[in-house]
Structures are given as C-alpha cells and as structure tokens.
Amino acid sequence: MGTRVRIDEVDRQILTSLRLDGRRTFTDLGRELGLSTPTVKRRVDRLEERGVIRGYAAVVDSTISGQGIEAIVEVYCAERTAPRDVLAAVQHLPEVLSAVTVSGDPDAVLRVQVDGVRHLERVVENLRRHEMVIRTRTMVILSVLVDRPTGLNGS
C-alpha cells in the first residue's frame, strides 16, 4: 500500500502503451508520443523508482499452453482480519496468481491456477486450514471473455 504518486498525461500515455506491450522500445514510445528516447527512458526510470511500474511480465493463456485450469476463490475471514493477515494466508501458495481484498461479502478474492480439479481441491483445503479463514467459495473459470492489462481509469 504505497503513497499515491502524481502522474501527468505523458506518464499516463507511457503507462498505457507499456500495459498493452511491455516490450516496446523507448525509441518506439518516443516516436509515438513525440518525445526523445532519453526523455522516455528518464520517465520510465522515474516511474519504476517510485513503484508505479512494479515489473514486466508475459500474459499467458493457460488453456492454450496446457497449464491447467484457473479458478476464482472467494475467502471469508474471521472478524477483524487485516489485509496483511490475508496476505500471510496466501503468499506461500504458488498457485495464487492474484489476491485482492474487496468490499462486500467475501473479504478477499483470489485467482488461482492449478493442474486440475484435484489440485484445486488441495489448494482450497490448504487455504481453509488457516485460522482466520472461516469459509471459501470457489468458481472454476470456463472461458476468459476479456482480460485486459490493468490501467488507470480505463486508459
């Protein structure tokens, strides 16, 4: 939970371009945005230093690559459970692709990737063993209709 960083319109455009294709060169970005390559590099370096850009990754379709199935797991916790407690319960599980705390009935929602249903069952059982987890609700993802890179206000 970092401190908010002010992002100007040029930084926003750089972030949007990198979200869509993280392998773009600084020269290519500069051409698109009307900036010099060194200017783009300085801005990207600054965004990385401030923690706005946390890293770069490949977006993999697990169904095409044969890496099993994905599921959404809603986690319901005991009262007064802090986000750091949820993190403690899930950070050791390599199958967890993302974990977020949410408003509403569940306290957290996880996206997990597993080899199959039996593997999913073991992951959920392991999660339920944590003292703060009261119950879970699991939904297997049948198909992905939209999976956009994260963005700032849909930009």
CATH of the domain at 25: 1.10.10.10
* pTM of structure: 0.65
Establish if 107 belongs to a structural domain: yes
In the predicted structure, residue 39 carries a pLDDT above the cut 90: yes
Q: Are residues 88 and 128 in the same domain?
A: yes
Q: Which residue has the tokens 């059982």?
A: 125
Give yes or no: residues 73 and 128 share one domain. Answer: yes
Under 8 Å between Cβ of 66 and 126: no
Tell which residue, 144, 139, 133, 129, has the closest CA to residue 108: 133
Give me the helix-helix angle, 26-33 and 9-20, nearest 10°: 130
State the pLDDT at residue 65: 62
More confident residue, 31 or 64: 31
Query: What is the structure's pLDDT at 81?
Result: 86
For residue 1, pLDDT over 60 is answered with no
Q: Is the pLDDT of residue 110 over 90?
A: yes
Cα–Cα distance list, 100 to 8, 9, 80, 109 (Å): 27, 27, 16, 5
Classify residue 36: in a domain, yes or no. yes
Domain boundaries, position 43? 9-49
Q: Are residues 75 and 123 in the same domain?
A: yes
Is the model's pLDDT at 119 over the cut of 60? yes
Number of domains in the chain: 2
The answer to whether the beta carbons of residues 90 and 127 sit under 8 Å apart is yes
